[in-house]
Amino acid sequence: MLKKISWKFRKTHIKISPLIIHINSSWDGWGFDILKIQNNLWDGSLLKMVWDLPNGAEKKLKFTGDVFFLRNKLLKELSDLEDSILWNSKLSKWDEFKFWALKLIFN
């Protein structure tokens, strides 16, 4: 029975962490992660706020975050809009607003 269960889930790799506190852990910066879920190569958080503090040399202050598991979806939307601009160069008013808002958030 256990062999059967093991065989069925051999390609499923899920990791759920309810709370992660980053204190310069593995160069991730300082911050926290609430309900982080990793499924194969996808990962998302209910709420993530991490700041990379400047070190006086080359590293600048940087913020990364995630709310309601939306970061990857919004980055994909930004990438699709950039591709559309590259190949079509004509966006609707709504797409122009989305592009402006996503560039403001991620850059």
42-56 pLDDT tens trace = 888 999 888 887 776
> Is 79 a domain residue?
yes
Domain shared by 48 and 77, yes or no: no
> Is 7 a domain residue?
no
> Is 106 a domain residue?
yes
The mean pLDDT of 29-41, rounded to a whole number, is: 88
> pLDDT tier at 28 (50, 70, 90 boundaries)?
low
Within 8 A by CB and 6+ apart from 57, the residues are: none
59-106 pLDDT tens trace = 677 777 888 888 888 889 999 999 988 888 788 899 899 999 988 888
